[in-house]
Structure 1
Amino acid sequence: MLRIHFTGEDLARIRIAPGPDPLWELLISMNRLRRRDAGVVYGSWLKETLPQVPASVRALTALAPPVGYSVDFLTAAAGAGFDEQIEALRATPLRQVHRDLREFGRRNPTRRLPPWCRDLVTGEASGLGRLADASDAYFAAALAPYWDRIRAQVSRDRTRRSATLLDGGWDAVLSTLHPSARWEYPVLHLDYPVDQELRLQGRGLLLQPSFFCRHAPTAFADPALPPVLVYPIEHQVNWSAPGTGTTTDRALGVLVGPTRAALLHAVADGTASTGDLARRAGTTAPNASRHITALREAALVASHRHRNATLHTVTELGLALLGGADPLIPV
């Protein structure tokens, strides 16, 4: 059981990540491949990806068993994008490397690390460099060809969470994050493979929707790291089909017009004001307001007043139109 302890200040500092985290998706997808844990959702991806996996990935699997504890620093590198995360991984502080390797040895007493891991212990740049290069190569082979589709699936989840937040507040979001979620202020209880307490202590919590996370949510083992809760999303069954969304996008433009199609895509990326949507769609605020009114009248967009602004979210009907009405299944 994972128990996350909130304060009132933490509730004010909850955030939903704007998109998938490349390093978390890298780690969890790697475990999907190693377990052959595919099912309906990941079957095509696994079949296409397995032959492309570079041999260098062994450097990552040495520190990330398919079940159990993986060193936190593999996913702790912060950055606005994958390239920034890779550079941050190369610059991981030695004290964090030592702390995580000690924890790895404690939790995985029967696993032997390869000889090159001595470079990690001594702080040689070649140690972290090997991991960064392996991460880069694996991402290029296994994730980059699918990244736009992965990002679209995560955006759908963020949109639904944003709508839940507007309708029911953080209580509703936290209690519906996962089938095992039990929210009893000030503690969120979740199924977890080990017994773990996470005390936020005013730092807030980043909710990170994950495409490849399948069963239980996951979090850092080190309580000193910035608090993150990685949780599974729902998926379109045919998400991996080449060109998924392309034909639908063209048809949508013909159906509602290019500006309204652009606005509908923009609002599907997350709750936003009229001005935000206008900037994303490349139009003026008055023009965006007029088209959003039409989308709202067609039940594709919902609008809510929040303080001095009107915030817009995509409806389930709008999502269905964007995604070709594919069924969603929980995994």
Structure 2
Amino acid sequence: MHRIHFTSDDLARVRVAATLGPMAETLFSLTALRGRSGEATFGAWRRRARAGLDSRYAVLGAVLPPGGPSFDLANLAGPGRDFAESAENFLARSRHAVRAELDYYADHHGRVPAALAALVDSPAARRELLSRVESYHQAAVEPHWNRIQAHLAAERTRRGTIMLDQGVDGLLSTLHPDIRWAPPTLYIRNGDETPAELTLDGRGLLLVSSFFLRVPTVMYDPRSLTGGFLFYPAALGAEQAASVWTTGTSSSALAGLLGRTRAAILTAIADGVTGTGVLARRLDVSSAAVSQHTAVLREAGLITTLRHHGTVQHHPTPTGLALLDRPDTPHAGP
């Protein structure tokens, strides 16, 4: 049992995030990949993901060894809007921070695998680990990331509504059956992990929902100035999970609905290509053609257009993003 002790300052600094980003969720997915529970929610995904693994991914087993704590790469990498941002965070981490994680790992497992021990001093070893994690991410998580992110964003919105209606007390009381709020202490049932008494000392707590983690998990560094992280399982039913694993709107179906060029323009705008000239160059059509197609998309309510000092910027509407099966937010992090 973990016990997190709050002061009034800590309660004022409770925040809610949808996710730490794709790298963190990819690392959390290793727990679901190894486990056997949750067949209705993760079974189909688990079988497909396992089929793509080979000896190149053995290092992932070292990151998450059976029994005991993992090498906390998610904590070292921190929040990131995309995989690359978290990777850069990890590459910039000090030798001391990485060694501290490995010392904790060794205390619980007796030894540190050579592939992880080299992470302290070798940038090449860090890049190799990141390469393996990213390759796994691209195969197992990235195809579903837009829907996972949308699900976590909806979870954050739900938590925000609870906090508005019931305050922080209601928020902390309804996170998960394994989390119990008895002011001023939050009790987290942690399975076989070593129990801990955590004092936030006015730094607050960031609550982060997770798609893949099915038990609450605490990340806490008493030396950090930003407080702790509590990852809690986002509400996830079998039907919701099934909708995540299905593919999104196919490009051919979208082209059939909108026309090939308009579908490509809408997709490019959702990807962040907002200027008429850039769109024309990307799609190899004239600027006049882009203007005609964006006018149709705008009239259909799929994009909005802003004009400022002679420049034109197009942005997708929530309806346009929904049509593309994209989350209605560019970044759902802290």
Distance 2:10 2:82 in 1: 26
Distance 2:175 2:159 in 1: 9
Deviations 1:2-37, CA, capped at 9 Å, x for gaps: 111111111111111144532331222112212244
Distance 2:114 2:223 in 1: 29
Counterpart of 1:238 in structure 2 is 242
Deviations 1:200-221, CA, capped at 9 Å, x for gaps: 112111111000011x200125
Aligned partners of 1:27 and 1:75 also within 8 Å: no
Q: 1:8 to 1:245 in 2, by over 3 A?
A: farther
Q: 1:44 to 1:37 in 2, by over 3 A?
A: same
Aligned partners of 1:90 and 1:132 also within 8 Å: no
Does 1:128 pair with 2:132?
A: no
From 152, 170, 194, give the equivalent of 1:154. Answer: 152
TM-score, length basis structure 2: 0.68
Distance 1:221 1:147 in 2: 26
Does 1:115 pair with 2:114?
A: yes
3-state SS, counterpart of residue 179 of structure 1? coil
Counterpart of 2:75 in structure 1 is 75
Which stretch has the larger CA shift, 194-203 or 46-55? 46-55
Does 1:90 pair with 2:84?
A: no
Distance 1:139 1:170 in 2: 34
Distance 1:8 1:105 in 2: 36
Q: CA deviation at 1:108?
A: 1.2
Distance 2:183 2:21 in 1: 28
Counterpart of 1:207 in structure 2 is 207
Q: 1:209 to 1:74 in 2, by over 3 A?
A: closer
3-state SS, counterpart of residue 209 of structure 2? strand
Q: CA deviation at 1:237?
A: 4.2
Does 1:33 pair with 2:27?
A: no
Distance 1:154 1:66 in 2: 27
Distance 1:103 1:243 in 2: 40
Q: CA deviation at 1:76?
A: 2.8
Q: 1:283 to 1:217 in 2, by over 3 A?
A: farther
Counterpart of 1:264 in structure 2 is none
Q: 1:55 to 1:45 in 2, by over 3 A?
A: same
Does 1:141 pair with 2:139?
A: yes
Distance 1:283 1:234 in 2: 36
Q: 1:91 to 1:57 in 2, by over 3 A?
A: farther
Q: 1:31 to 1:107 in 2, by over 3 A?
A: same
Counterpart of 1:293 in structure 2 is none
Counterpart of 1:218 in structure 2 is 217
Aligned partners of 1:73 and 1:92 also within 8 Å: no
Distance 1:88 1:238 in 2: 33
Q: CA deviation at 1:117?
A: 3.5
Paired amino acid for 1:207: L
Which stretch has the larger CA shift, 24-33 or 49-58? 49-58
Q: CA deviation at 1:120?
A: 2.3
3-state SS, counterpart of residue 198 of structure 2? strand
Q: CA deviation at 1:107?
A: 0.9
Aligned partners of 2:76 and 2:98 also within 8 Å: no
Deviations 1:247-277, CA, capped at 9 Å, x for gaps: xxx9xxxxxxxxxxxxxxxxxxxxxxxxxxx
Counterpart of 1:191 in structure 2 is 189
Q: 1:211 to 1:151 in 2, by over 3 A?
A: same
Paired amino acid for 1:181: I
Q: 1:170 to 1:36 in 2, by over 3 A?
A: same
3-state SS, counterpart of residue 243 of structure 2? coil
Counterpart of 2:7 in structure 1 is 7
List runs of 5+ in structure 1 lacking aligned partners: 251-279, 285-321, 323-331
State the identity as a percent: 36
The structure number with the bigger radius of gyration is 2
Paired amino acid for 2:242: N
Distance 2:37 2:125 in 1: 30
Q: 1:238 to 1:60 in 2, by over 3 A?
A: closer
List runs of 5+ in structure 2 lacking aligned partners: 255-301, 307-324, 326-334
Paired amino acid for 2:91: R
Paired amino acid for 2:246: P
TM-score, length basis structure 1: 0.68
